[in-house]
Amino acid sequence: MKILIVEDDKNLNNTMAEALKAFADVVQVFDGEEALFQAEQNIFDLIILDVMLPYVDGFTILEAIRKNSNVPVLMVTAKTMVEDRVKGLNLGADDYLTKPFYRDELVARVEALLRRYNNNFEGLKLVFKDLEFDIVHKIVRINGENINLNGKIYDILEYLIRNKDIIIPKEQLFNRIWGFESDTVWSVVEVYVSNLRKVLKDYDYAKYLKTVRNVGYMWSEKE
């Protein structure tokens, strides 16, 4: 799971990141320009977005996000005016959190949004048929038996299942798993997906991992 935190207050940004790192990979940014760039990559499962930011405000970023993505967005603001909350919700925010807030409330709202937008998400677990992910410890089980999926192979499978029935382009998968600044070549995606397919074949799950020719991959039960 990957969460983007957009907050210019470094202490608060770090506090939120620490609260969420127990079950998510967190990317932290501190200004609106970098937030726009990161959000446009469409690789996050949830975005936490402050309203008042340097260079580009949160409302403008939210408008840009909603032009091509339905990713859950939790707005964070020090403002208590009803008008601001209404504006954010009308622009497409999924929930609002007003500063100051408790750590437990942040985690609860994040988990609630993830459950709302991902039918496979159950608390800190992700499930597909007999496949069960322990997100905190990055462990995959089938019928209680641990599967040997480590590192990026685990991350690829989790991301594909989290986006079931959605075609994930190779470039998007690369950016999600390896990062924008990686010196690794894109062909590494094919190698890792091939290794993942070999592992899944032993459990009769490889059939759900579809290759979309010249585009990317999709996890689906559809033929």
pLDDT for 220 beyond 60: yes
Per-residue pLDDT reduced to its tens digit, 144-191: 888 888 889 999 999 999 888 999 999 999 988 988 777 888 889 999
The per-residue b/e assignment along 172-200, b for 16 or more CB within 10 angstroms, e otherwise, is: bbbbbbbeeeeeeeeeebeebbeebeebb
Q: Are 209 and 161 spatial neighbours (Cβ–Cβ below 8 Å)?
A: no
Q: Chain-wide mean pLDDT for the chain?
A: 89
Per-residue pLDDT at 119 exceeds 60: no
Tokens matching residue 110: 């994040």
**Residues 129-138, mean pLDDT to the nearest whole number:** 84
What integer is the mean pLDDT of 124-140?
83
Rounded to two decimals, what is the model's pTM? Answer: 0.72
Residue 21: Cβ-neighbour burial (10 angstroms; 0-12, 13-18, 19+): exposed
Mean pLDDT of 11-16: 96
The mean per-residue pLDDT over the stretch 12-17 comes to 96
What band does 122 get if pLDDT is binned at 50, 70 and 90? low
pLDDT at res. 121: 58
Write down all domains in the chain, each with its CATH number in brackets.
Answer: 2-117 (3.40.50.2300), 121-219 (1.10.10.10)
Rounded CA-CA distance 83/61 in Å is: 18
Residue-level pLDDT at 56: 95
Token pair of 84 as six digits: 């601001």
According to the model, what pLDDT value does residue 124 have? 63
pLDDT at 170: 92
- Please spell the DSSP secondary structure of 58-80, one letter per residue: HHHHHHHHHTT----EEEEES--
The per-residue pLDDT for 190 is 93
Residue 10 has pLDDT above 90, yes or no: yes
Q: pLDDT tens digits for 52-70?
A: 999 999 999 999 999 988 8
pLDDT in the model for residue 49: 96
